A and B are shown apart, each in its own frame.
Chain A
Amino acid sequence: MHELHLLSQAVLEGKEDEARSLVQNLLAMNVNPSRILNEGLIKGMDMVGEKFRAGEYYLPEVLLASKVMHSAFDILKSRFVDVGIRTRGKVVMGTVKGDLHDIGKNIVIAMLEGAGFDVVDLGVDVDSRTFVENVQEIEPHVLGMSALLTTTMPYMKEVIEELEREGLRKRVKVIVGGAPVNERFAMEIGADGYAEDAGEAVQLVRKLLDVEVG
């Protein structure tokens, strides 16, 4: 359908007003909301992802497209609530105690949101108690921790131990990342996964949630 193609293009080119207007037109034409989402908005984001991987797009363009997608999706949301469609999954993210670096974490969050996940950002310098309380309250599918310093990465293990003490560990997948962290460290501290960069983090969460959320 030509209008769905135009909607994908509007997402790709970051044209918010055009995307919103197209969604309204498609709804007025009684096109199924799922079709608008999948063949218009998500297809547009997939095209953005391809251009990003090919080095043709940069993060500002990805984030703009994501903003356009979410803005247009707001119009569709009520239709999905009616039919009870779930989000792709909930993620809680934070930079661990003693570490104030957050740009890497923020990029991961932006990419996850762009991929359709609900993300709660706990910010920087987050202690184990705060992580645990948010896991109890929000019940995320995934908990992500970030550290940029060799002196703060050991704290990730403390958080995992606290989750175990509180009986929460089996209820949430834990992923870790940051410059000094690697796969081996992640396995040593009992995390479920490690991602080298934001793109890998999205793939990792997708992989984990395919198992957990279905």
Chain B
Amino acid sequence: MLAYSSPEEVVFGRSKHPVKCGFNVVIGDGEVIPEVNFTLPSVKVCRDNLREIRKLFRDITTRVLMKCVELSQEQVVVELEHVFEMTQDPQFGAVVTKDIKETMAEFHEKYGLRSALRVTVADIRHRTRPPRMRNGEEVEKVFESFRMCADAGADILSIESTGGKEITDRAIVEGDVEAILFVLGVMAIKDMEFLWREIVNISERFGVVPGGDTACGFANTAMQLANMGMIPRVMAALVRLASVPRSYIAVKMGAKGPLKDCGYENPAIKMLCGVPISMEGKASACAHSSPLGNIAAATCDLWSNESVQDVKLLGGDAPEVFTEILIYDCRLMNAAAKESRAFEFRDLLVASDKYLDPQALMLDPDLMYRAAQIVENVKDPYHQVVETAKLVVDTISQETKEGRLRLTDSERRWLGKLGDTVYNIPSDWSEILEHVEKRYEGFFLMEEYGLP
């Protein structure tokens, strides 16, 4: 049974199972909260300049939190997303985590600012090619980094995991939809189960919140390629919705939310199980473009800027500028909720984007709800992925036929190709395995996914 009886019940700021963490932050309990993420300016990250890196992170955090105080923002979530070196050297990531948390504690004590720290560990397992997902030195470092950051003050643990990305990176640019669906429905599922079992164990051991994962490495890769005209937008839309079963696995393994901001598939997971979600849209234009700027906010509980580098702008340093933008976005949503107009505002967010791009259409709460129903009703993840892919093709075809969504001739041609593939894909995934083994030989190791 889904957590909501209809898509009409799902709205920003409210989740069925709010998450309490950090310095008295409550996520998904009636208020949308900004989640601020920042990255360093152009600077070398290594042990040699650890002092400089630590100072930079402390300074940026201070400026972000001070902006919250100045604008009377009562709650904020800060995300530290590791760069490679911070996970490769777990002590490095832990020290920065501790610094940021101490700064947050100072603001809590001095100003009463309620804040929580999400730490997103880098999935460095794909450093080696083919990646060692279960048995290499990197996987131990990933888990050690989770442990050390949890111990150093992280409140929420997350990762943008990459199981199967070694295949989809090529499959997406080659338009090999069969392989993409195999990865999302089989390989990525197995990897998520392996990874999240341990992340949840670590979280329980250290008393922190296992947040969630994101299909960033798959669906956002496709979105960016579509933005550049490299692949059809209809294909990127398909990868997006077909990612729902994969990202849901984190919650099945015990993740509690807030799910990770760049997981545009999150609304369906909120509908499935009621966890709060972070989303990003127009305020993440500092990190990447998207056709989803407003619609992404429709059901969010945290509203994020994805990532902004610490550079000087006319209005201040970029992280504080984007904190301000997020605060005003959140204020508007929260004001709508207070006036009992949240659903009206949600529908405007949806209507403003929905028919301008097939990828935006995927975030329509009605469609997300149907994807959630597929995951709920279809027995195994592979078939869930195939059925969501069919839903994408059918929905885009219908909306195009009825004139609400416009596609170019080349997009229409690709929609036909996608339909041919998803409606003729083998029912038994082992039949695709042979194709994947042959075409992607040397790209992946079967045993690293527990494949026969």
Contacts and interface: CB of A to CB of B under 8 A. Distances in A.
Interface of A: 55-61, 63-64, 98-100, 102-103, 106-107, 110, 123-125, 149-155, 180, 185, 197-198
Q: How large is the interface on B (under 10, 10 to 19, 20 to 34, 35 or more residues)?
A: 20 to 34
A180 B410 CA distance: 31
Given A149-B83, A150-B41, A154-B42, A106 B169 contact: yes
Contacts of A198: 230
- Most chain A Cβ neighbours within 10 Å, of B124, B229, B230, B408: B230
A56 B225 contact: no
Contacts of A151: 39-40, 42-45, 83, 85
B124 A197 contact: no
B43 A60 contact: no
B221 interface: yes
Contacts of B272: none
Nearest to A107: B173
A60 B175 contact: yes
Given A56-B410, A98-B83, A110 B127 contact: no
Contact of B42 (A98, A106, A180, A197): A180
A98 B410 CA distance: 38
Contacts of B229: 55, 58
B174 interface: yes
A11 B177 CA distance: 22
B423 interface: no
26 contacts: A55-B229, A55-B408, A55-B410, A56-B409, A56-B410, A58-B175, A59-B230, A61-B175, A63-B173, A63-B174, A98-B85, A100-B84, A102-B169, A103-B225, A106-B173, A107-B173, A125-B127, A149-B83, A149-B84, A150-B41, A150-B42, A151-B44, A152-B84, A155-B44, A180-B42, A185-B42
- Most chain A Cβ neighbours within 10 Å, of B44, B85, B225, B409: B44
B285 to A, nearest CB: 13
A150 B175 contact: no
Given A100-B84, A151-B83, A110 B41 contact: no
Given A63-B174, A98-B85, A153 B42 contact: yes
Nearest to B170: A106
Please report whether the interface of chain A is mostly helix, strand, loop or mixed according to DSSP: loop
A185 B164 CA distance: 34
Contacts of A100: 84, 124, 126-127
Contacts of A56: 409-410
Nearest to B43: A151
B297 interface: no
Nearest to B84: A98
A107 B414 CA distance: 20
Nearest to A110: B173
A150 B230 contact: no
A156 to B, nearest CB: 10
A127 to B, nearest CB: 12
Interface string B147-174: 0000000000000000000000110011
B129 interface: yes
Contact of A150 (B40, B124, B126): B40
Contacts of B175: 58-61
Given A98-B83, A99-B84, A59 B173 contact: yes
Contacts of B400: none
Interface in B203-227: 221, 225
A123 B173 contact: no
Nearest to B232: A58
Contacts of B232: 58
Nearest to B169: A103
Given A100-B127, A151-B40, A151-B83, A59 B225 contact: yes
B352 to A, nearest CB: 25
Interface in B27-51: 39-45
Interface string B336-360: 0000000000000000000000000
Contacts of B408: 55
A107 to B, nearest CB: 6
B373 interface: no
Interface string B69-95: 000000000000001110000000000
